[in-house]
Amino acid sequence: MPIGADGGSSTAGAAAAAPHAWEELLDAAAVPKRVVDDLLIEYLLTEGYVRSALLLKEEAGADADESEFERVGSRNDIRDAVLSRDMERAMELTDAVAPEVLRQNPKLLFRLRKHMLIRLIRQGDINEAITFAQTKLAPLIGPDDLEMRHDLEQVMALLIFDDIDASPVAHVLHDSEVKDTARMLNGAILRNQGRSDEAKLLRLIQEAQWAQDKLQDTGVDVYQVLRTPRTLQ
């Protein structure tokens, strides 16, 4: 029976008529602290917070694959290289830990090389920038890939402006572009290593928000439930 029909109303009525029974159900579904610790450690490792993950692991005595900490260290080095705009180093490090990633993902390779092209334009190396675009970027664009073609055209448009930071296409220079590239590369490496690029904790939060919205639709006072003090087992 769909939520919000008779089943939803009975759920709300049961919660209102039998609050103690509702609390007993919540207690029965309490998440053990060890599970919470493992979720937090997995989140920290996915996001690259090695030091925090190590501290939590030591404090909680939680299980964690030591080799995973080493892989996170490598991903952090790659991310730092991208954020510092050292794309050559980022690609070298990526090839060392996951050589298939860039070979199998031309769009990601395009983004990395696009940042290299922008650096050449900033340095005023016009001829080298044009050659780089023709030999390193254009060959990655498929005949039907309008998005990559548009991206390259916008970067090349920087060449006609004296002040590229004040140009109509200055958005391609923003730090957010580099951060997006770092995030995409990190996700690609995670998937290559057989892991999700999104931590389980984030997915659980999204599912909890969905469930909370559904319960509120049936009349359950979710906020009152959340305000009730509960302890981890």
Looking at residue 225, what is its pLDDT? 58
Looking at residue 28, what is its pLDDT? 64
Q: Which residue has the tokens 């073609």?
A: 149
Angstrom distance (rounded) from CA 3 to CA 7: 6
pLDDT digits (tens, 9 = 90+) for 92-136: 999 999 999 999 999 999 999 999 999 999 999 999 999 999 999
Smallest CA-to-CA distance from 165 within 118, 210, 114, 126 is with 118
Q: What percent of the chain has pLDDT over 90?
A: 48
Asked whether the predicted pLDDT for residue 207 surpasses 80, the reply is no
Asked whether the predicted pLDDT for residue 143 surpasses 70, the reply is yes
Looking at residue 1, what is its pLDDT? 43
Amino acid at 153: E
